[in-house]
């Protein structure tokens, strides 16, 4: 089912460059998420700590102070 939308309601939300002000021009706000998941990796935020998992294993965390904790060695100046 399609819902009709009156574009004139949107016109006053667009600037001269054709950009929309997302704070006032969107019907619903953009969703926020605590978890991002790919096939093998998961990134989640729990109590101010960002965790990166591979499968079910936490392999890296970053706390709100910027401290990084890795499960194994960290390599600097390497080629990814």
Strand partners, 45: 50
- What's the rounded mean pLDDT across residues 5-21? 72
Q: What is the pLDDT of residues 41-68, one digit of tens each?
A: 999 999 999 999 999 999 999 999 999 9
What dihedral do alpha carbons 52, 47, 31, 43 form, nearest 10°?
0
Residue 6 has pLDDT above 80, yes or no: no
How far is residue 43's CA from residue 51's CA, in Å, rounded to a whole number?
6
From the number of C-beta atoms within 10 Å of its C-beta (0-12, 13-18, 19+), residue 42 rates as middle
């Amino acid at each position: 089912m399609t819902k009709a939308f009156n574009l004139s309601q949107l016109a006053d939300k667009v600037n001269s460059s054709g950009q929309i002000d997302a704070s006032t021009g969107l019907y619903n706000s953009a969703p926020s998420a605590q978890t991002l998941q790919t096939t093998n990796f998961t990134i989640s935020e729990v109590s101010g700590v960002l965790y990166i998992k591979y499968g079910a294993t936490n392999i890296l965390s970053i706390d709100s102070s910027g401290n990084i904790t890795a499960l194994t060695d960290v390599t600097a100046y390497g080629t990814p």
